């Protein structure tokens, strides 16, 4: 019998298909083991890097700290500065000037609008004509052409317009998640923007073929899930910390059952039928409520951690976005947190997750749908 097998193995018509099948089977097994280990030890997680403008973000935070004066004389001075700077900006980027003016008319908040203008200044540090106008507010000499585009170049591409139409459809889900968590809707959208914008290049063809025509958000379903790109192990930790009263992320008993599962709703669809219920809730075609709810809870848990540690970051949307991208392990409260996160390109220009969120938040874009609130957390509490 062994001799028959040996003779059979020597024949090419048998040996070659047999070895081919054997090698394919071995490679598939290696792939499965590799994928399991990568998930278990989080090898796929992007370690990110510190944004090149991190020190400018920190200086802006210091500038508007407790030393920012709000007495009547100072307010009048701030108001004059706001109006003059908007006039200057209007000579270069009318679109951004209009967004900021609208925000000022709605909020009457000089501090907020000056922060919005400072966010613009970071982008225009190398614009000599703009800087010259800033040094002499009464000078109106303009060496640059007026443009109808945004100062934020990544907002000038077609995908951004599609994104704005898509996120408008999700306003009810974003507002609902904001209402039950007490997190400002615009903070939630800032995290969404970072996640969606980074896909503009990596999934450009899909945007053109599927997302743009349907005016819908990109739904992730591999490693990261939902429209906000939450990893399964992160979602599980979010759920756990809601119930763990000993955790530094604990929000209180009133939030403990916010993410409880029910046995009535079926979240299964064509792309998530083999996934856990946690992920199934995130991977829904049209109802993105849980994507926003998990994101909002994460933001509030991080806020609680830093507040308990004595380093509140309530006014730092770029820090919340950076940590949302990097995860709990990178959330280490300190006096000078760093802005950064995943690095990605849009039309060959490099950006970080946190910087994109910062630029969106203070851009005035979508202010009609997601207006600025005087308090970023629990704004409806007296």
pLDDT on residue 220: 81
Element (H, E) at 194: helix 185-197
Helices 110-123 & 353-361 angle (0-180, nearest 10): 130
CB count in 10 Å sphere of residue 169 = 13
pLDDT on residue 65: 74
Contact status, residue 157 vs residue 356, Cβ threshold 8 Å? no
> pLDDT tens digit string along 168-178?
999 999 999 99
What Cα–Cα distance (Å) separates residue 192 from each residue in 71, 79, 224, 322, 358?
37, 32, 13, 12, 12
Place of tokens 């009535």: 264
pLDDT on residue 149: 87
Give the Cα separation of 104 and 92 in Å (integer).
19
Task: Enumerate the domain spans of the chain.
Answer: 2-40
DSSP characters for 127-149? -HHHHHHHHSTT-----S---SS
> pLDDT tens digit string along 141-173?
444 455 778 999 999 988 899 899 999 999 999
Which residues face 309 on adjacent strands? none
pLDDT on residue 144: 45
> pLDDT tens digit string along 304-359?
999 999 999 999 999 999 999 999 999 999 999 999 999 998 888 899 999 999 99
Burial of 41 (0-12, 13-18, 19+ CB in 10 A): exposed
Spans of the chain below 50 pLDDT:
138, 140-144
pLDDT on residue 226: 92
Does this model's pTM top 0.85? My answer is: no
pLDDT on residue 143: 45
Place of tokens 């290049």: 201
Contact status, residue 303 vs residue 331, Cβ threshold 8 Å? no
Give the Cα separation of 127 and 122 in Å (integer).
10
Give the Cα separation of 318 and 199 in Å (integer).
19
């Amino acid at each position: 019998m062994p001799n028959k097998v040996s003779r059979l193995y020597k024949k090419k018509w048998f040996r070659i298909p047999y070895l081919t099948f054997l090698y394919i089977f071995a490679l598939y097994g290696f792939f499965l083991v590799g994928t399991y280990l990568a998930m278990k030890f989080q090898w796929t997680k992007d370690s990110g890097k510190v944004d090149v403008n991190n020190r400018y973000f920190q200086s802006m935070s210091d500038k508007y700290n407790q030393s920012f004066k709000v007495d009547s004389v100072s307010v009048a001075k701030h108001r004059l500065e706001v109006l003059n700077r908007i006039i200057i900006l209007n000579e270069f980027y009318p679109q951004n000037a209009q967004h900021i003016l609208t925000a000022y008319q709605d909020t009457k908040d000089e501090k907020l609008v000056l922060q919005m203008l400072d966010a613009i200044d970071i982008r225009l540090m190398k614009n000599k004509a703009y800087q010259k106008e800033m040094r002499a507010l009464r000078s109106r000499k303009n060496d640059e052409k007026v443009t109808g585009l945004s100062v934020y170049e990544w907002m000038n591409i077609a995908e951004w317009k599609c994104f704005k139409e898509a996120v408008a459809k999700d306003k009810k889900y974003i507002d609902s998640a904001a209402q039950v968590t007490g997190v400002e809707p615009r903070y939630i959208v800032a995290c969404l923007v970072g996640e969606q914008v980074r896909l503009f290049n990596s999934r450009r063809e899909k945007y053109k073929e599927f997302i743009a025509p349907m005016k819908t958000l990109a739904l992730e379903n591999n490693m990261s899930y939902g429209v906000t790109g939450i990893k399964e192990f992160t979602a599980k930790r979010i759920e756990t910390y809601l119930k763990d009263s000993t955790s530094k992320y604990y929000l209180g008993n009133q939030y403990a059952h916010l993410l409880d599962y029910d046995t009535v709703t079926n979240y299964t669809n064509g792309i998530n039928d083999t996934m856990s219920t946690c992920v199934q809730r995130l991977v829904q075609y049209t109802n993105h409520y849980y994507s926003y709810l998990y994101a909002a809870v994460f933001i509030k848990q991080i806020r609680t951690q830093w507040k308990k540690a004595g380093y509140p970051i309530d006014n730092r949307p770029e820090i919340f976005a950076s940590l949302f991208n990097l995860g709990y392990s990178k959330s280490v409260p300190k006096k000078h947190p760093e802005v950064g996160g995943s690095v990605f390109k849009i039309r060959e220009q490099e950006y970080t997750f946190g910087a994109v969120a910062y630029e969106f938040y203070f851009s005035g874009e979508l202010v009609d749908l997601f207006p600025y609130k005087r308090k970023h957390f629990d704004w409806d509490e007296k």
